[in-house]
Amino acid sequence: MDKQEYINKKAKELFAEIGYKGTTMDLLASKCDMGKGTLYLYYTSKEDVLKSIINQLLASIESSAIKVQQMNTSFSEQVMEIIHEILKLRNEQVLVAKLVFEAKQMNNQVVDKYMTQIDNYIIETLATTIDRAIEKKYIKKCNSKFMAFLIYRIYISLVFEWEQKENTKLTEKELFDLLENLFK
């Protein structure tokens, strides 16, 4: 693991634990067992660190989207593959949940900008998959962006709201099966 990856790993831990707002470059340097000057060799600001973390998440989604675009499978299988990749982001769930909380409840505009970027990218990726499915006549013509938004919101509701309400975490298979049933 190189230094930037190590810094990102420690920053994710701090952001998840005490939030973006509560994290300082001093605290991050301490968590990384390095001097603040060394940290600044890699990142110019706390926002720069957050941007790097978000870019990693987006790169993971983009890689999955490219893989899905190359698949010669049904629409539901393609959507489920994208959802499967989004499910992998659940490993970052505490971090993402904390950042979403800060963006919305604490009106943190820096964090909100990056969370919106993730949401928009996922919705655009799903919309592109839906457009291809319409072209191939796998599904009826529809507003692909609206359908993508609905699919994503259902996923978010299941992962965050349902699990919080029921105080139980759905397994990846349960989520996959629930979402797959929507497209049969």
**Type of residue numbered 74:** S
Q: What is residue 184's three-state secondary structure?
A: coil
Residue range 47-182 forms a domain whose CATH class is mainly alpha
Rounded Cα gap, residues 112 and 109, in angstroms: 5
pLDDT tens for 20-31 read 999 999 999 999
The answer, yes or no, to whether residue 49 has pLDDT greater than 90, is: yes
Domain residue ranges in the chain: 47-182
Torsion of CA 168, 171, 176, 178, to 10 degrees: -30
DSSP 1: -
Q: What pLDDT, in 10s, does the model give residues 32-42?
A: 999 999 999 99
CB-based contact 29:38 (threshold 8 Å): yes
pLDDT band for position 154 (cuts 50, 70, 90): confident
Phi/psi of residue 111, nearest 5 degrees: -65, -40
Distance CA 69, CA 78 (A): 8
pLDDT reading at 119 higher than 90: no
Region of 19 please: left (phi>0), alpha (psi -120 to 50) or beta: left
pTM here is: 0.76
User: CA–CA distance from 7 to each of 10, 26, 53, 116, 137 (Å)?
Assistant: 5, 12, 10, 23, 46
